[in-house]
């Protein structure tokens, strides 16, 4: 499976923590002053799925600034998984990002990712988790996560789930076609 990569895109407003999330996954030190991404950056890492298959994740961290929005869909094409990242200040952007991803790549599996959970007290985090579950139901999103790049909390689970989703999609695409018996009698 590692010969062909699985495209994972990170989307969301500027400064929600997309780059920090990727850096944490790549085991880079946390940098609270990380620069905003211009257009997109690319990383790759192999991950073992739950069923033991090695999957190469091609990770595209996209810019969240408004000035780049028109160009972003070119990075979304052929994505298997989109991580729609948000924090407590960007909840209202979820629908817009969801629609942008679905328009560019309708078969993409979208995960909702609450970032910066180390910054919220218990009451605020419960409220945000409740909002995330409501949004997941509303948008028919099956996978949602609460993360902290600073504390490396919940990060590996996201990418392992992305590998699981990808192996499910790929195995469904590579199943041999089923033969359909023809009830008609052969001629001659």
**pLDDT tens, position by position, 157-166:** 999 999 999 8
Average pLDDT estimate for 8-15 = 97
> Is a pLDDT exceeding 80 seen at residue 170?
no
Angle, CA of 45, 163 and 149, to the nearest 5°: 60
- Cβ count within 10 A of residue 157: 12
Q: Three-state SS string across 128-157, please?
A: HHHHHHHHHHHHCCCEEEECECCCCECHHH
3-class secondary structure for 16-69?
A: CCHHHHHHHHCCCCCCCCCCCCCCEEEEEEEEECCCCCEEEEEEEEECCCHHHC
The pLDDT assigned to 57 comes to 97
Spans of all domains in the chain: 6-173
Residue 180 pLDDT greater than 60, yes or no: no
Q: In this structure, are residues 105 and 169 in contact, taking their beta carbons and an 8 Å threshold?
A: no
**Whats the size of the chain, residue-wise?**
188
Name, in order, each residue with C-beta under 8 angstroms of 22's C-beta and a sequence gap of 6 or more.
10, 41, 43, 59, 61
- Give the class (CATH, top level) of 6-173: alpha beta
With beta carbons less than 8 A apart as the criterion, state whether 12 and 68 touch.
no
The tens digit of pLDDT for each residue in 81-129 reads 999 999 999 999 999 999 999 999 999 999 999 999 999 999 999 999 9
pLDDT surpassing 70 at residue 14: yes
Query: For 135-156, what is each residue's pLDDT tens digit?
Result: 999 999 999 999 999 999 999 9
pLDDT at residue 177 is higher than 50: no
Residues 6+ apart with CB under 8 A from 179: none
Cβ pair 93, 120 in contact under 8 A? no
Beta strand 40-48 pairing with 54-62: antiparallel
Per-residue confidence (pLDDT) for residue 169, from 0 to 100? 59
**Model confidence over 18-71: pLDDT tens digits?**
999 999 999 998 888 777 787 788 999 999 999 999 999 999 999 887 777 788
Q: Is the pLDDT of residue 172 over 80?
A: no
Q: Which residues contact 154 (CB under 8 A, 6 or more apart)?
A: 117, 145, 146, 147, 148
């Amino acid at each position: 499976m590692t010969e062909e990569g699985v495209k994972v895109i990170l989307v969301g407003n500027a400064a929600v923590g997309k780059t920090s999330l990727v850096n944490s996954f790549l085991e880079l030190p946390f940098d609270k002053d990380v620069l905003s991404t211009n257009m997109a950056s690319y990383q790759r890492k192999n991950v073992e799925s739950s069923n033991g298959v090695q999957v190469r994740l091609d990770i595209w961290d996209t810019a969240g600034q408004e000035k780049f929005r028109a160009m972003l869909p070119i990075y979304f094409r052929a994505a298997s998984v989109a991580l729609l990242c948000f924090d407590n200040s960007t909840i209202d952007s979820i629908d817009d990002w969801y629609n942008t991803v679905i328009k560019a790549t309708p078969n993409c599996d979208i995960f909702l990712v609450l970032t910066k959970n180390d910054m919220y007290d218990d009451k605020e985090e419960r409220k945000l988790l409740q909002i995330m579950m409501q949004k997941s139901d509303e948008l028919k999103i099956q996978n949602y996560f609460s993360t902290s790049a600073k504390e490396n909390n919940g990060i590996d689970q996201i990418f392992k789930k992305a590998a699981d989703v990808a192996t499910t999609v790929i195995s469904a695409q590579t199943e041999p076609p089923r033969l359909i018996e023809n009830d008609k009698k052969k001629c001659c």
